[in-house]
Copies of this chain bind each other. A is one copy, B any other.
Amino acid sequence: MSTQDTPFTLAGVTFQSRLIIGTGKYPSFDIMKRCHEASGAEMVTVAVRRLDLKAQGEASLMNWIDTQRMRLLPNTALCYTAEDAVRTCRLAEELGMSKWVKLEVLGDEKTLYPDVEETLKAARILVKEGFTVLPYTTDDPISARKLADVGCAAVMPLAAPIGSGLGIRNPHNIRLIRELVKIPVIVDAGVGTASDAAIAMELGVDAVLMNTAIAGAKDPVRMAVAMRKAVEAGRDAFLAGRIPRKAYASASSPLEGLVE
C-alpha cells in the first residue's frame, strides 16, 4: 500500500511544514533566526504583550523574523482574563500583525495552565469579530469540542505545562480530541525532545507548536533540526500504519491502543 499525505490546511491556507515555533527564551535573536531557518517552520508565534514597540533595527524582535517565509501568529501570552486577551488581539490587528491569533488566557502564573472558561468566553467574542482563532487549551476533549463549535479555526491542546518538557502526558485525551473535532488539532506546549514531537504526530494530530524545547536546548540550532525531522518522522509513521503491539511476535492478540 502506497500512501499520500494531504496538505496541512488552516483556515484556507496550506502549509508544507507541520512545525510551528516561537520567539521567546532564545539566547539571542541571532540564534533564534538560525533556529527558525533550521526548523523549516512556516508559522511563528509572537507575544504581543512582550513586544518592545519602541525598539528599532537589531534591537527589535520583528527585525529578526523572516516574514517572507513565515506567517506571523500573534499570541496573547500574559493575559489572565477574556477581556485582556480580546483587547490584546485587537491591538495586534491595529499593529498590522495579523488577524490570526493564538489565544492564550492563562489561569495561573505558576503553572501557566489555560483558564478554559475564560478562553471559551474570549473565543466567542473574537470569532464574532472576524478573527481566525487558534486557542491554547487543556487536553480536555469537551472543552476542545466546544472551542470547535464556537468557530475556532483549530484547537491547540497542551501536551504538558508550558516549558515543562514533560511530553504527551495523556495521549488518550489527545486521541479523543482528534476523534471529536473536525478542525485541525495542534499540540501546543510541553514537548521536551524530538521523540515527544514524533509521538504527538503519530497520534494523528495536524501539527505541533513548541518554543522552550528548542530555545532552551544546549544547542538550539541542532534541536531545531531534530524537531523538523521528528515531526516529519512522526507524520510519516502515522501515515505508514505501524505494526500492532504484541506481547511477542507469535502472540495471537495484539495489545492495541495504548500509547504510554
A247 and B161 within 8 A (CB): yes
- Please tell me if A66 contacts chain B, counting CB pairs below 8 Å: no
**CB under 8 Å from chain B, chain A span 88-119:** 107-117
When all copies of this chain in the complex are counted, the total is 4
Shortest Cβ distance from A212 into chain B, in angstroms? 6
A141 and B218 within 8 A (CB): no
Stretch at the interface among A9-17, A41-49, A52-60, A249-257: A249-257
Question: When the two chains form the complex, which single residue of B138, B161, B219, B258 contacts A138, counting CB atoms closer than 8 Å?
Answer: B138
How many angstroms between the C-alpha atoms of A176 and B111 in the bound complex?
9
How many angstroms between the C-alpha atoms of A125 and B1 in the bound complex?
44
Q: Which residue of B lies closest to A138 (CB)?
A: B140
Q: Which residues of B contact A202 (CB under 8 A)?
A: 193-195
**CB under 8 Å from chain B, chain A span 238-255:** 239-251, 253, 255
In this complex, the interface size class of chain A, counting residues with CB under 8 Å from chain B, is 35 or more
B3 and A248 within 8 A (CB): no
How many angstroms between the C-alpha atoms of A67 and B217 in the bound complex?
39
Q: Which residues of B contact A114 (CB under 8 A)?
A: 142
Which A residues form the contact surface with B (CB < 8 A)? 1-3, 107-117, 120, 138, 140-143, 145-146, 160-167, 169-170, 172-173, 175-176, 180, 192-195, 197-199, 202, 212-213, 216-223, 225-227, 229-230, 232-234, 236-237, 239-251, 253, 255-258, 260
What are 24 A-B pairs at a CB distance below 8 A? Answer: A107-B142, A108-B145, A112-B248, A113-B140, A116-B117, A138-B138, A163-B243, A164-B246, A165-B246, A166-B246, A167-B260, A169-B169, A194-B198, A195-B202, A195-B233, A195-B234, A198-B198, A212-B243, A212-B249, A222-B239, A223-B242, A229-B230, A245-B258, A255-B256
